[in-house]
Structure formats: structure tokens, C-alpha cells
Structure 1
């Protein structure tokens, strides 16, 4: 990961330092410089200029999969994963939520309209007053927004996630005819998984991590994110502290793209008896 300016995001970056899986975006202090063969898109302008459709078509043709539902989820993941991880892991591990305004998100596109690594040109965060330090409170940290408590932090985060992904999902759904609930389902599911995964890696209480993710997910649903079903925590070895993992609320449709692949272990369509055995094999002691 490249980092040129951490600022108030420093506690988030440091909290992720011990993780083996921490897909954070590239953090910059200024808009990226032009490069030969690369066009930089600010996310809000990408939507405004109608480029979501062409970018999806390029992604589907050159990276796949071809099945349109699966391709739509993969496309959203191609630049959304790092942004969701920053929101989820930052909130869970440090109690700080990054500003995910679409005007701060930049994507490099090559001559084929394929996106590269997602960049954020800001270190602005929101932090609850009970963990804010004296610099935050006295206003000496202009990139820090102090909110009242965890509930206000979740509301602040949810509003930014809606503004970030809402226009993208609307444009992608209109172009592909894949439902908004399917696409939003990916975002909501990953908010849960991206708190649960750090908790497992760090040996934290999995149930508490999942409950924290549920509060943020519920805030996002209250803000207007439409989904089919919420993800859930599944105890495959309930007698062990590490004997749990998540089940998605929304299928990613990979099984349609590759019939030999079958259902993912976390797929809501998978049978729980089969899932329990697979989870124990994958995560059990």
C-alpha cells in the first residue's frame, strides 16, 4: 500500500498494520498527477459523464466473468473493496470513519477503460467525542469531525456510503439490468465481513465484532440501502471462540459464471449442513 499523507487516518492505518489482509486504498494529499496512457477519473465525474457503462463493458470483456450478474458484482468489487474495507475496518479497529465523498475518490483508467488501484485524496475522518483527543476537540485538526457517539458515527458513515455507492449502483443497474438490491447486497455483506475478518486475524471476540458490524449495517439500511436479506454470523463450532464465520445475505452469482465452481462456502443458497462441514475444514483447529 502506498501512503503519502495519513493525517487523522494514522490510527486506521496503524490498526491495520498487523493484518495479513488489509486492502486499503492509496492515500494521497493531492489529486494524482497525469500519466501517459492513463486517464484519472474522479468518481463523481465518472458517473456524471456516463462512463460507468463503458467501464463495465471493458471489465466484462477483458477480465470477466461473462455472466452479467456475476460480472456486475465483480466490477463493483474491483474498486469498491478497498473503500468498504476502509469504512468497516477503520470503524471497528480504531473507532474512526474515513470521509468517502465521491469527489475525493480517484480511479486511473487505461486506454481500455480498465480501472487501476483506487485512490483517496483526503485524510478526513469522523471520530466520536469519547475517543477524540485534545487536538480533535480544540479544532487544531481541521480534517477531523467530532461526532457525539457511536450512533452518530454510524449515521455519518452511512450517509457517505450512500453518496459514494448510490449513483454508481444506480448507473450500473441501469446499464446491466442487474437489480440494485443485488449490488447493494455486496456492499452491506462486506461491511460485516470486513469487521469479522480483522477480528479473526487479531484473535478478537467474533460475536462482538459481528454485533458492531450489524449496528453499522442497520444504520446503512435505515439510510436507504436496499437489500434482499441481511448477512448472518454462523457458528460452525459453537463450543470454540473461533468457531464462527459469516454467511452473505446476497449471492455473488459466481456459480452461474462457472457451474463447476458451485456455491461459495458463504453463499446464502448453500445448505447449512454442508456449510458447517466446509467451514470446519477451512477454519477449524
Structure 2
């Protein structure tokens, strides 16, 4: 986790400090500048200049799986993971949500069009009423307004990218949006588990944000679900994705992921207990 600028996101960074897994984006004061061998794309320009297709082709050729469905999900993850985590962890842990517009998100591209680590430049931050405010914050009345703020931003941020990626790969929009929705839920549950928080409460919080995102227009076939593999233990739960990531198509020997919706729940329960059980 690299952080150079914090500003009103400092409480989010601090809340993530104890986590062993906290994929926050690089937070910057000013937009980055091109250097020899590296061109910086602002996300809205990357989409507007029809560069999602070339960036995907480079990713698939140089880094991602060759199978098209799996490659599309992996490409979306390659820059979307940090943005989704910031939205989820900020909302859950700190009651704050960064204004993640496409014009504050920057990505470096090398000479092969391969995109690098996502950077975010000085976003405004929505803050729940009653929390400390400062320059760069936007007060919101309650949790519902915070969720609506976050959801509209995610539609505007991911919608054009997903539309362009779907058009280029023919992988469905519902599949790609399913990854975003799944991770939005997972990235509240994961911090809750690592901090020893109530898992059911964290999951309910993620479901409320997901409901707002779906109401804002995110199309999915099926949402993720909480799965109690040891229902008699406070930490005996993990989650099942609503949308398959298709890794099993890219590598048949890999089989289904433990969180895959296609996996049998009896098999899943045993695997979860082995991986997470006391």
C-alpha cells in the first residue's frame, strides 16, 4: 500500500493500517507526469480515446490468461480492485466515501500499452453528518445518502469501462458488473474478519450498499451470499460469489474456486473449514 497524499482520506488509511490485506490505490497530491517509457492515462481519457481495447489486448498477451472470459475479469480486477476496496473499506470502516470520478483516476501505461498501478489524485470525500469535516469533504445526512453518493460514482466510474470492455471482448456486462458487486461485498467482509468484527453485521452493511448500487443501474444476474461453514462460531463464515470468475476455464486443473457459485456447498463447507476454521 503506497500513500503519498491522505487529506480527508486519512481516517480510511488509518482504519486499514492493521489489515494485512488492504489494496488501497496510490493517493497523490497532483496528477502524475509522463516519463520516458511511461505515459499516464486519466481514466476518462483512456475510455474516450478508445484505449480500453488495446490495453486489454496487451494485458491478455503479456500478463493475463488467454481464455477470453477469464482475461476480461482479470483485466477489470487489475485496476478496479483498489478502487472497489477504497469505496468498500472507506464506507464500512470510516463512514467516508471518496469521490471517485474518472478524472481523478490515473493509470501508467508502458510502451506495450500495459497498464500499471492505479493512482487517485486528491478526490473530495463524502463524510457522514456528525463526523469531523475539513476542506475537501462533503457532508451527507446519513448512511442512505452516503450509499447513494457512492453508487452513482461507481456507475459513472465503472460503467464506461465495462461497456467498452464488453464491446471489445463480447463478455457480458452482467458478468463484469458481477465482479464489481462481488468484490464490494467481499471488501467489507474481509476487513471485518481480519479485525475480529461481527461478520453478519459487516455483510448486512455491504448488502445495503449493494442494494443502492443495483438501484443506481448496475446489472447483475445474481448477488453474492454469506456462507456459514461453522455456524456455531462467530468467525465461521465466508462468502460465495454471485458471478464466476472463469479461472477454471483458463486452467482446467485449477477447478472451481472455493468461493465459486458453481462449487457444491458440501465441498465448499469442508474447504472453508480447512482454510479458515479454528
Shorter-chain TM-score above 0.5: yes
CA distance in 2, matches of 1:108, 1:284: 40
Alignment of 1:1-285 (within 5 A): 1-130=1-130, 132-133=131-132, 136=133, 141-285=134-278
Aligned residues: 278
TM-score, length-normalised on structure 1?
0.96
Aligned equivalents of 1:260, 1:173: Cα separation in 2: 27
Distance in 2 (CA, whole Å) between partners of 1:98 and 1:250 is: 26
What is the rounded CA distance, in whole Å, between the counterparts of 1:162 and 1:123 in structure 2?
A: 17
How large is the RMSD of aligned CA atoms in angstroms? 0.7
Q: Which runs of 5+ in 1 are unaligned?
A: none
- 3-state DSSP class of the match of 2:88? helix
Q: CA deviation at 1:85?
A: 0.3
Structure 1 CA distance for aligned equivalents of residues 54 and 101 of structure 2 = 23
How far residue 211 of structure 1 moved from its aligned partner, in angstroms, is: 0.4
8 Å contact kept, 2:2–2:24: no
1:128-152: CA deviation from partner (whole Å, max 9, x where unpaired): 103x22xx2xxxx331000110000
1:123 Cα shift?
A: 4.0
- Aligned equivalents of 1:10, 1:124: Cα separation in 2: 12
TM-score normalized with structure 2 length: 0.99
Structure 1 residue 163: Cα displacement: 0.5
Query: d(CA) in 2 for partners of 1:3 and 1:164?
Result: 21
Contact 1:84–1:190 at 8 Å: present in 2 too? yes
Deviation at 1:115, TM superposition (A): 0.8
1:191 aligned counterpart, secondary structure:
helix
CA deviations 1:173-231 (Å, max 9, x no partner) are: 00000000000000000000000000000000000000000000010000000001010
CA contact (8 A) 1:109 1:116 kept: yes
Determine the C-alpha separation between the residues in 2 that align with 1:171 and 1:180.
10
